[in-house]
A and B are shown apart, each in its own frame.
Chain A
Amino acid sequence: MKSIIKYKKPKSQYLISVLSVVLVSLLCLFVRDIIEYKVVGYILLVTVSLLAIFLEIKPVLVGAVLSALALDYLFIKPYYTLHIDNAEDAFLLVMFFIIALINAVLTNKFRRMQRAIHIIESRASTMKLYNTLLDSLSHELRTPIAAILGSIDTLQQKSVNLSSETQEKLHSEIEKASMKLNYQVENLLNMSRLESGYIQPKLDWCDVKEIIYNVCNRLTEETKDHKITYYIDDNLPLFKLDYGLMEQIIYNLVYNSAQHTPKGANITIKAEYDVDADYDQHIDLIKKCVIIIADDGYGFPEAEIDRAFDKFYRFKSAKTGGTGLGLSIVKGFVQAQNGTISLKNRDEGGAEFTLEFNVDCLPINSLKNE
């Protein structure tokens, strides 16, 4: 309803107003002989009131004036003249006109108030989102900075004799915090790349197996308390994807799993393709690349699972940090390559992400012996 009010052009509003009054008047004209003109007055009043709900004030006023004229001209005797014979009818017409006007003005006033409330409400919700973002961002950025500064302060303390072991620990804290900071900045940059629509995938033949292992080798430190199991077909064909985007997708998903599952949790990474009996002869056939990343952690709260990919969304129960950027970047990067991503909780516990890409593929056997 609100959108009708907002977007209807003023010109068409006048037209609607005039047409409605004319139409109602004409309909009443047919039954003029059986109903009293006072009833027609009520019918017209209702028409103007209805118009006041949907239209701006000026078209309604036009409608009100027109309906008063129509009442007088067509329904108050003598017909087809604006002349009124008795005082009672004249009084009735004036009352009719005043009620129609008050109706129009009041409805308009009410609507304006409603609109103002709506604006205030939407501003408040934007502010809330902004504050959530600021909260999580400042937490995610400030924690590593605090760790870096704290470690450096301790290292610089002249009065304390630090064992070389402690010094080493502090240095490693600085290193870890810097890497974390780098990851968050990377995510922010990627998000702004997505927002600006600047991402144009550079599709080239990718060895998905190599990408997965390459990324997981880089995540050795972050996944040292987890067990990663790979189920990747040795004959996985090459797929036309963007190498850099795929790296970031896998990185964020595995990093996310490692962050939000308890120590010792299992992460499994599967990469498959659609099996076609004689795919060797049809190397140009479009095939599907399916990557599944699952863990046996806590899974996602079922009630909020649909919001997992929303920007800045953090689960109410989330204990560990996060900006709510990682998964939304994953989704953006998957979609940029015309892929789909879905998330579900596994029956046996834990979360499962499924990525599907309908892209060109090339079986490696066809190239091997050249």
Chain B
Amino acid sequence: MNKGFSILVIDDEVQIRKLLEISLEANDYKVLFATDGKDGITMAASHQPDLILLDLGLPDEDGQEILVKLREWFQNPIIILTVKSAEEEIVKALDHGANDYLTKPFRTQELLARMRTALRGNTIKNNNEPISIFGAVSVDFVSRTVKVNNENVKLTATEYALLTLLLKNDGRVLTHQYILKEIWGQSYSEQTQYLRVFVAQLRKKLEEDPNRPKYILTESGVGYRFNSG
């Protein structure tokens, strides 16, 4: 199912390259490698990969700058790899146009899932379905109604807007600032309190167990991710 997709891995660690080569090729991806930023940009230009895995900690150049340079012309998904406890770096990279991120050490299954999501693109944009279903929840975009177990659930206008934004970005991480700007407007981009409260409310109304959410997931220090399963 992944046949034909070519993946460019930009990472200086030989162990990680080896691991990715084995696990990605086993999943029918075509894998290309670059060991530093300069090489990576050249390879991206000459091979036009379908997706780039970019390590933020490269020896020759700041990963953020490589990301910015790539994004000047490269349209396909970029997933960044980074070390843990670097939330600010992650948020910055997402602002610079990265589609997603993984922190080392990461699990291969997780990586493959993120890659599939990124390669699939925005679900709603692509298939224009008027109804979206996840678990026991169905969202009708035409009548703007939400049902859980076939029973109508009343959402406030803000809750509905937040839900559709998350649905439109199924599988993608959205930063706090991005969500706040989209739903509440530019001047609210630092007002995380609204986000906390409304996410908690949405979970209470839609999740089976709001304390162990399956769909609206928290990305510590970064934002939220919707996962339809």
Contacts and interface: CB of A to CB of B under 8 A. Distances in A.
Contact of A213 (B156, B194, B211): B211
B200 interface: yes
Nearest to A369: B156
B85 interface: yes
Contact of B193 (A186, A205, A210, A244): A205
B193 A238 contact: yes
B196 A206 contact: yes
A189 interface: yes
B85 A189 contact: yes
A178 B105 contact: yes
B192 interface: yes
Interface residues of A, number: 26
Contacts of A182: 105
Contacts of A204: 192
B197 A210 contact: no
A244 B219 CA distance: 11
Contacts of A369: 156
A370 B193 contact: no
Contact of A214 (B84, B156, B192, B220): B220
A217 interface: yes
B86 to A, nearest CB: 10
A244 B87 contact: yes
Contact of A243 (B84, B105, B212, B220): B220
Given A182-B105, A362-B193, A367-B194, A217 B200 contact: no
A247 B194 CA distance: 21
A242 B218 CA distance: 15
Given A213-B211, A214-B220, A244 B85 contact: yes
B228 interface: no
B179 to A, nearest CB: 14
B201 interface: yes
B219 to A, nearest CB: 10
B152 interface: no
A205 B188 CA distance: 14
Contacts of A367: 193-194, 197
A325 to B, nearest CB: 15
A22 interface: no
Nearest to B157: A370
Contact of A205 (B88, B158, B196, B201): B196
A140 interface: no
A182 B85 CA distance: 13
Contacts of B193: 205, 238, 362, 367
A210 B196 contact: yes
Interface in B18-60: none
Contacts of B88: 202
Nearest to B84: A186
Interface string B201-216: 1000000000110000
Interface in A165-192: 178, 182, 186, 189-190
A316 interface: no
A367 B199 CA distance: 12
A238 B212 CA distance: 19
A368 B197 contact: yes
Contact of B218 (A190, A210, A230, A362): A210
Contacts of B87: 244
A364 interface: yes
B130 interface: no
A356 interface: no
B157 to A, nearest CB: 10
A207 interface: yes
Contacts of B197: 207, 238, 364, 367-368
Nearest to A193: B85
B23 to A, nearest CB: 15
A207 B196 contact: yes
Interface in B150-165: 156, 158
Contacts of B85: 189-190, 244
A370 B194 contact: yes
Nearest to B191: A205
B221 A364 contact: no
Identify which of B156, B192, B212, B220 gathers the most chain A CB atoms within 10 Å of its CB.
Answer: B220
A204 B196 CA distance: 11
Nearest to A230: B211
Interface of A: 178, 182, 186, 189-190, 202, 204-207, 209-210, 213-214, 217, 230, 238, 243-244, 247, 362, 364, 367-370
16 contacts: A182-B105, A186-B84, A189-B85, A206-B196, A209-B200, A210-B200, A230-B211, A238-B193, A238-B196, A243-B221, A244-B221, A247-B220, A364-B196, A364-B197, A367-B194, A367-B197
Given A205-B192, A205-B196, 7 more contacts: A186-B84, A207-B196, A207-B200, A210-B196, A213-B211, A238-B196, A370-B194
Closest 8 CB pairs of A and B: A205-B193, A213-B211, A207-B196, A367-B197, A244-B221, A205-B192, A364-B197, A204-B192
